[in-house]
């Protein structure tokens, strides 16, 4: 939920820190700050607002700061304490000896804070994170790594932290539990960050810390240990990242760029994974033999938000194509409700970031109960795929916009590939497998056909940009598509939007319909269309304007409704993908018309690494 970056080396570090924060801003952006060691002193600059505000605060001090040798920085998504300068990180101990930046939640912070207050500490903020600075100061006896380890052993909760000390001009101590930390290995310099987006401009060699790893880094050394101070070795991974992929490249927003990247992104997900000879999918990352595949008798999909909606589409695939009992669980529910898991249950964790706390906990619950656990993820080396130890990477490229777009279409594609694999391992014939392969190959083209009519969708979107409330309704696997469309609209335009199964509307929600409440009805020419036409009539009878998605030239829909968003003809299996792309565009243009902050909507963060 927050972004952290640290640098130790011989280059001027202020721009490295602020540029890194800008690449991490999608993780949180309500306040920002940095601390550097300069001539044996800690110098701290903090602001409410975005990194840009911090840069303005630093502007008159750049000359003075040019001699700084080590620094840490933080962009915040508030958990404890409102977004303001006092609550911005870094936090210091009372003597100004140590500076700490923290991503995570300290569950027992009240107990620690009261104990520290009783011991005479003075607090400058309302945050949980500040207790770390005071604890480090209490334990410090000349060894910073040991002091930080001792402080962290008092903590219940999650942390990704970095600590510097005014008398250690080239040292950073960093550690993680539940919130990611990656070390960037440079030439005569070392960086640490919450994720690789902040490191890719400086190095292609990274080390992912595991939970309860702690590291002391200098420009030339990286010493990784357990919190019990036992040395551990972590491999240096190659970062195959094109930093330009994390630029807007001429688009007004990252979200629009990522919507238009979807044909290529989905092609990347598919690439190398279609086995025409045996009409199946080649998903070696699942690391399951045909016999192990055949033993799976139940699938539980655990995810959050957009990823959960993708999982809901996957449920239709696994039950309809494969015949395996499948259920989708909101990850936070799964982790706490003591789920029934047998040895032949597959727990499939879906997460774009691979760092969502609730989904990570679901992975751990599945592993603890002996399930086969696999991840579908877009960030190589993220915690969820690493701990799942098997899965499918989307290869969609970085998704910077907080509203998830290409992740959804790539996740659904990955789920369809997985259903093909399981299906051919069971009753799906070679012929049916080849037919499904053809449909999968068509997905990028279907998406492109929707994108080619973005201008028409923009015209429709502008008509409804003043709505206060809005419904999305769908049936079959277009029901999750309706949920996803509602999530997109509400999170970037701030219009109250609800996704409902079309049949559910008359069981209460229809009471809300009137001429000021538009309904987006997913009326593609797939099984169930006749039923949704009746639902459209029910909405029209309550004076709601109806915008329908409809398959090319389907006059049975266009004659009924106020506006039509055309979706290319395709099979029911893949229909959610082009349909959701159209809804992404609809939401984007509504939000743009309303002048909303599309890439970084209020109150949100890209990766929810706290409960």
The residues that bridge with 102 in the sheet, in sequence order, are 161
539 Cβ partners below 8 Å, 6+ apart? 471, 473, 505, 510, 513, 519, 521, 546
Minimum distance between the CB of residue 604 and ligand AGP, rounded to whole angstroms?
Answer: 6
What kind and span of H or E run contains 414?
A: helix 406-424
Q: Does 403 bind ligand AGP (CB under 6 A)?
A: yes
Q: Which of 38, 190, 267, 352 touches ligand AGP by CB under 6 A?
A: 352
* Stretch binding ligand AGP (CB under 6 A), from 73-81, 107-115, 320-328, 397-405: 397-405
Residue in this structure with the two tokens 């016999």, named with its chain if needed: 291
Tell which residue, 421, 408, 149, has the closest CA to residue 274. Answer: 421
Task: Return d(Cα 399, Cα 379) in angstroms, integer.
Answer: 9
Omega before 531 within 30 of 0, i.e. cis: no
Q: Does 69 bind ligand AGP (CB under 6 A)?
A: no
- The CB-nearest residue to ligand AGP is 305
* Stretch binding ligand AGP (CB under 6 A), from 79-87, 167-175, 303-311, 553-561: 303-311
Catalytic residue among 2, 304, 570, 596: 2
Distance set, CA 209 to CA 175, 362, 365, 485 (Å): 8, 20, 21, 36
Task: Return d(Cα 457, Cα 33) in angstroms, integer.
Answer: 40
* Stretch binding ligand AGP (CB under 6 A), from 62-70, 302-310, 444-452, 540-548: 302-310
Q: Does 599 bind ligand AGP (CB under 6 A)?
A: no
Residue in this structure with the two tokens 């999608």, named with its chain if needed: 26
Q: Which of 351, 493, 566, 600 touches ligand AGP by CB under 6 A?
A: 351
Minimum distance between the CB of residue 491 and ligand AGP, rounded to whole angstroms?
Answer: 6
Task: Return d(Cα 132, Cα 112) in angstroms, integer.
Answer: 9
Q: Which of 283, 304, 520, 565 touches ligand AGP by CB under 6 A?
A: 304
Q: Which of 356, 383, 524, 609 touches ligand AGP by CB under 6 A?
A: 356
Mapping DSSP to helix (H, G, I), strand (E, B) and coil, where does residue 384 land? helix
Mapping DSSP to helix (H, G, I), strand (E, B) and coil, where does residue 599 land? coil
Tell which residue, 330, 344, 385, has the closest CA to residue 363. Answer: 385
Binding mask 109-148 for ligand AGP (x = CB under 6 A): ----------------------------------------
Our answer to whether residue 539 is catalytic in this structure is: no
Task: Return d(Cα 356, Cα 158) in angstroms, integer.
Answer: 12
> Considering beta carbons, is residue 189 or 491 the nearer one to ligand AGP?
491
Task: Return d(Cα 563, Cα 566) in angstroms, integer.
Answer: 10
Q: Does 388 bind ligand AGP (CB under 6 A)?
A: no
Q: Does 587 bind ligand AGP (CB under 6 A)?
A: no
Q: Does 413 bind ligand AGP (CB under 6 A)?
A: no
Tell which residue, 503, 483, 511, has the closest CA to residue 583. Answer: 483
Q: Which of 307, 409, 551, 566 touches ligand AGP by CB under 6 A?
A: 307
> Considering beta carbons, is residue 170 or 405 the nearer one to ligand AGP?
405
Task: Return d(Cα 407, Cα 394) in angstroms, integer.
Answer: 8
The answer to whether the beta carbons of residues 470 and 588 sit under 8 Å apart is: no
* Stretch binding ligand AGP (CB under 6 A), from 189-197, 267-275, 399-407, 461-469: 399-407
Q: Does 607 bind ligand AGP (CB under 6 A)?
A: yes
Task: Return d(Cα 339, Cα 332) in angstroms, integer.
Answer: 12
> Considering beta carbons, is residue 374 or 560 the nearer one to ligand AGP?
374
Our answer to whether residue 48 is catalytic in this structure is: no
Q: Which of 75, 203, 262, 353 touches ligand AGP by CB under 6 A?
A: 353
Minimum distance between the CB of residue 310 and ligand AGP, rounded to whole angstroms?
Answer: 9
Contacting residues toward ligand AGP, per CB under 6 A: 304-307, 351-353, 356, 359, 402-404, 487, 491, 607-608
Catalytic residue annotation: 2, 606
């Amino acid at each position: 939920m927050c972004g952290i970056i640290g640098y130790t080396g011989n280059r001027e570090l202020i721009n490295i820190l602020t540029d890194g924060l800008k690449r991490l801003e999608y993780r949180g952006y309500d306040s920002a700050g940095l601390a550097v060691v300069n001539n044996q002193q800690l110098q701290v600059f903090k602001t409410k607002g975005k990194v840009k505000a911090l840069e303005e605060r630093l502007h008159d001090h750049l000359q003075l700061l040019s001699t700084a040798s080590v620094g840490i920085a933080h962009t915040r998504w508030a958990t404890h304490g409102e977004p303001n300068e006092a609550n911005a990180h870094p936090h210091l101990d009372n003597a100004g000896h140590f500076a700490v930046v923290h991503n995570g939640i300290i569950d027992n912070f009240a107990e620690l804070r009261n104990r520290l207050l009783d011991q005479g500490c003075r607090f400058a903020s309302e945050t949980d994170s500040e207790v770390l600075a005071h604890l480090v100061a209490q334990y410090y006896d000349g060894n910073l790594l040991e002091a930080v380890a001792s402080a962290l052993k008092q903590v219940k909760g999650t942390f990704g932290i970095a600590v510097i000390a005014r008398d250690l001009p080239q040292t950073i101590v960093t550690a993680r539990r539940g919130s990611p930390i990656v070390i960037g290995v440079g030439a005569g310099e070392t960086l640490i960050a919450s994720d690789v987006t902040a490191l890719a401009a400086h190095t292609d060699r990274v080390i992912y810390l595991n939970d309860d790893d702690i590291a002391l880094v200098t420009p030339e050394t990286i010493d990784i240990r357990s919190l019990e101070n036992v040395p551990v070795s972590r491999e240096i991974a190659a970062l195959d990242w094109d930093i330009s992929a994390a630029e807007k490249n001429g688009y007004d927003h990252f979200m629009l760029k990522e919507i238009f990247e979807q044909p290529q992104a989905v092609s990347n997900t598919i690439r190398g994974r279609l086995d025409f000879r045996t009409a199946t999918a080649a998903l070696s990352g699942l690391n399951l033999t045909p016999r192990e595949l055949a033993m799976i008798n139940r699938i539980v999909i655990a995810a959050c938000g957009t990823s959960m909606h993708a999982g809901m589409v996957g449920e239709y695939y696994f039950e309809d194509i494969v015949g395996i009992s499948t259920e989708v669980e909101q990850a936070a529910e799964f982790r706490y409700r003591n789920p029934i898991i047998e040895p032949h249950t597959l727990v499939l964790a879906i997460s774009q970031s691979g760092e969502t706390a609730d989904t990570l906990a679901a992975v751990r619950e599945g592993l603890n109960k002996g399930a086969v656990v696999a991840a579908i993820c877009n960030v190589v080396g993220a915690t969820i795929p690493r701990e799942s130890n098997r899965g499918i990477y989307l290869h969609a490229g970085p998704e910077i916009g907080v509203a998830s777009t290409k992740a959804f279409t790539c996740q659904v594609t990955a789920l369809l590939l997985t259903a093909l694999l399981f299906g051919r391992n069971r009753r799906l014939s070679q012929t049916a497998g080849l037919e499904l392969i053809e449909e999968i190959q068509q997905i990028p083209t279907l998406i492109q056909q929707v994108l080619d009519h973005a201008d028409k969708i923009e015209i429709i979107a502008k008509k409804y940009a003043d709505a206060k409330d809005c419904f999305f309704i769908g049936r079959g696997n277009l029901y999750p598509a309706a949920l996803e469309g509602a999530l997109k609209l509400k999170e970037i335009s701030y219009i109250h939007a609800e996704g409902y199964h079309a049949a559910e509307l008359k069981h209460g929600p229809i009471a809300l319909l009137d001429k000021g409440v538009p309904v987006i009805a997913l009326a593609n020419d797939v099984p169930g269309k006749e039923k949704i036409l009746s639902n459209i009539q029910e909405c029209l009878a309550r004076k709601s304007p109806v915008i329908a998605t409809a398959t090319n030239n389907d006059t049975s829909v266009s004659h009924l409704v106020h506006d039509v968003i055309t979706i290319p003809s395709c099979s029911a299996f893949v229909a959610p993908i082009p349909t959701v792309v159209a809804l992404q565009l609809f939401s984007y243009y509504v939000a743009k018309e309303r002048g909303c902050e599309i890439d970084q909507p209020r109150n949100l963060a890209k990766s929810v690494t706290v409960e």
